């Protein structure tokens, strides 16, 4: 018997809200009969479980036989999906247009060609209005079949109009597919590597992008083509750490949506992601005032009555909103307030723990750790850092895993755990060498930390200054500078050299960066 919490039917039922459950019961009760009664019973039994357990289901209802259960579950799953489709089709343009196409197909198969054609026209109008180009191609193919059935005087004119329309649509979809694939592949590389590490990485990414792009004139692209093109460039410029260009394209993407309000609902997930990208770039560029304004725009999405927010979009908004609340404190160097935010976000993460992928978890854990480190709470930082290095899948963001190990080293140094500093210095060196991610930045820090035990307190300020002077030139190196995105070691060294709290040093610099950004 299956006793897995991952049972698909169980997950589907648990995802339903009260209104959806009520609608399903009304939908399922429309037909009386033994089969319906059985799967309604099964629905209630599964709905009342905290963890899926078939043995308990069978013991609570003796009319359910083990041999019947697989078919009943399949039937119940299909009925729930049909109920959800019926309930939400009016709120989802894709479902609405798809339903119209299905209806037109049914009418076509019944030789009701005129009715089919009129139905299809409604779908075509909707699909065009909301840039549903994939569905437009389905409509186009059915329309070609219908024209041959409806013989009229202007048939040649219709065919003459339909052929180039189809060719234009295929060209448009080819571009959209190419731009979308670029974004996906760039994201896949980013998940594995993080930011570009060296000139070889840059050449691979740069060559990949420009060799994959089709010839195009931006002014001739459709709305949806531009959306996917800008999205690809946002991903590319983030990957190579050109935050100014990433900001430019993220801003263009958001403006594209806001200049075409009618498509926001049908492409709400992409709109939310575009605002997230804009916030990320504003954060990296220390554009605090713009960041706050964009944050308000982002938070307002959930309260806009005209928008229907799905569970998927609500989850994305929680994830992005939580990240940007933390980023706000990093921008200001407010670590004391930031750790309070961490406590709230960490509690909420538990609610979405099953939805969060490993990459998102790593990002949050690292942000939590950096916030605690900045507030001199090194033991708390170690809790989250250890979660990162103990993760099973080290191929996900190996860059974060590497810098987490360096931060562990420094945390143990701050806690005077000298024996652990030496141990972690050796293991971190081996890890980075194995991952081919051992650059000048890491080498200097590891060598420095390994010899800390041999230095007297009187020698420390000079040693810190020496390391500081060696690292400063790297902050402008296009590939070594990536290291400072993960941990501001320059500020930590300055806190040691000048005997100041690290959060005070970071806050002072943060406010200067914001003031400088506001003057541009």
Mean pLDDT of 384-408: 82
What pLDDT does residue 484 have?
81
pTM, two decimals, is 0.85
pLDDT of residue 344: 94
Q: What pLDDT score was predicted for residue 1?
A: 40
In Å, how far from its chain's centre is CA 315? 10
Domain boundaries, the chain: 8-90, 333-520
CATH no., domain 333-520 = 1.25.40.10
First to last CA, the chain: 65
CA-to-CA dists, residue 335 to 364, 384, 408, angstroms: 15, 16, 18
pLDDT in tens, 288-321: 999 999 999 999 887 787 788 888 898 999 999 9
Confirm if 492 and 484 have CB atoms less than 8 A apart: no
Q: Which helix (H) or strand (E) holds 297?
A: helix 288-300
**Confidence band (pLDDT; 50, 70, 90) for 272?**
very high
Q: What is the pLDDT of residue 33?
A: 59
pLDDT in tens, 142-167: 999 998 887 666 677 778 888 899 99
Helices (H) and strands (E) in the chain, counts: 25, 0
- The tens digit of pLDDT for each residue in 54-82 reads 899 888 888 888 888 888 899 999 999 99
Tokens of residue 153, six digits: 């005087």
pLDDT at residue 97 is higher than 90: yes
- Predicted local confidence at residue 200, as pLDDT: 84
| pLDDT single digits (tens) 463-500 | 899 999 999 998 888 888 877 877 888 999 999 999 99
**pLDDT tens-digit readout, 105-136:** 999 999 999 999 999 999 999 999 999 999 99
Does residue 6 carry a pLDDT above 60?
A: no
Asked whether the predicted pLDDT for residue 43 surpasses 80, the reply is yes
Region 328-354: mean pLDDT is: 92
DSSP 33: S
The pair of structure tokens assigned to 240 is 């190579």
Nearest-5° Cα angle at 210, 220 to 243 = 90
What value does the mean pLDDT take over residues 278-283?
97
CB 494 within 8 A of CB 461: no
| Residues 6 or more apart in contact with residue 190 via CB below 8 angstroms | 235, 238, 239
């Amino acid at each position: 018997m299956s006793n897995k919490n991952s049972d698909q039917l169980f997950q589907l039922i648990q995802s339903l809200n009260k209104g959806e459950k009520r609608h399903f019961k009304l939908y399922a009760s429309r037909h009386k009969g033994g089969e319906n009664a059985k799967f309604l019973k099964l629905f209630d039994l599964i709905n009342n479980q905290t963890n899926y357990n078939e043995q308990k289901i069978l013991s609570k209802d003796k009319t359910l036989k083990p041999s019947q259960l697989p078919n009943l579950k399949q039937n119940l799953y299909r009925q729930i999906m049909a109920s959800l489709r019926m309930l939400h089709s009016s709120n989802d343009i894709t479902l609405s247009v798809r339903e119209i196409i299905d209806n037109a197909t049914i009418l076509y198969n019944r030789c009701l060609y005129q009715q089919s054609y009129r139905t299809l026209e409604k779908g075509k109008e909707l699909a065009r209005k909301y840039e549903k180009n994939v569905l437009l191609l389905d409509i186009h193919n059915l329309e070609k079949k219908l024209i041959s059935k409806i013989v009229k005087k202007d048939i040649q004119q219709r065919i003459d109009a339909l052929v180039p329309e189809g060719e234009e649509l295929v060209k448009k979809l080819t571009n959209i597919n190419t731009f979308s694939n670029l974004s996906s592949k760039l994201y896949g590389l980013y998940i594995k590597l993080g930011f570009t590490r060296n000139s070889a990485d840059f050449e691979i990414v740069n060559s990949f992008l420009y060799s994959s792009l089709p010839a195009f004139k931006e002014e001739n692209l459709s709305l949806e083509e531009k959306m996917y093109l800008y999205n690809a460039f946002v991903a590319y410029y983030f990957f190579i750490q050109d935050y100014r260009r990433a900001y430019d394209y993220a801003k263009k993407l958001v403006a594209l949506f806001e200049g075409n309000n009618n498509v926001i609902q049908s492409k709400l997930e992409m709109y939310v992601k575009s605002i997230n990208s804009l916030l990320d770039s504003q954060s990296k560029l220390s554009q605090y005032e713009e960041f706050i304004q964009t944050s308000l725009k982002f938070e307002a999405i959930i309260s806009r009555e005209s928008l229907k927010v799905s569970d998927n979009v609500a989850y994305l908004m929680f994830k992005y909103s939580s990240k940007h609340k933390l980023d706000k404190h990093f921008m200001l160097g407010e670590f004391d307030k930031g750790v309070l935010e961490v406590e709230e976000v960490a509690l909420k993460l538990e609610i979405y723990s099953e939805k969060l992928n490993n990459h998102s978890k790593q990002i949050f854990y690292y942000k939590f750790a950096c916030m605690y480190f900045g507030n001199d709470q090194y033991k708390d930082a170690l809790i989250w850092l250890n979660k990162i290095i103990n993760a099973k899948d080290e191929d996900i963001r190996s860059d974060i895993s590497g810098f987490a190990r360096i931060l562990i080293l420094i945390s143990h140094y701050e806690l005077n755990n000298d024996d652990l500093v030496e141990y972690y210095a050796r293991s971190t060196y081996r890890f980075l060498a194995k991952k081919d991610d051992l650059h000048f930045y890491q080498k200097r820090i590891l060598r420095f930390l390994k010899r800390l035990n041999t230095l007297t307190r009187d020698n420390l300020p000079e040693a810190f200054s020496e390391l500081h002077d060696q690292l400063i030139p790297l902050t402008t190196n296009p590939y070594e500078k990536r290291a400072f995105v993960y941990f501001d070691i320059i500020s930590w060294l300055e806190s040691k050299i000048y005997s100041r709290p690290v959060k005070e040093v970071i806050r002072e610099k943060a406010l200067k960066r914001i003031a400088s950004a506001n003057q541009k």
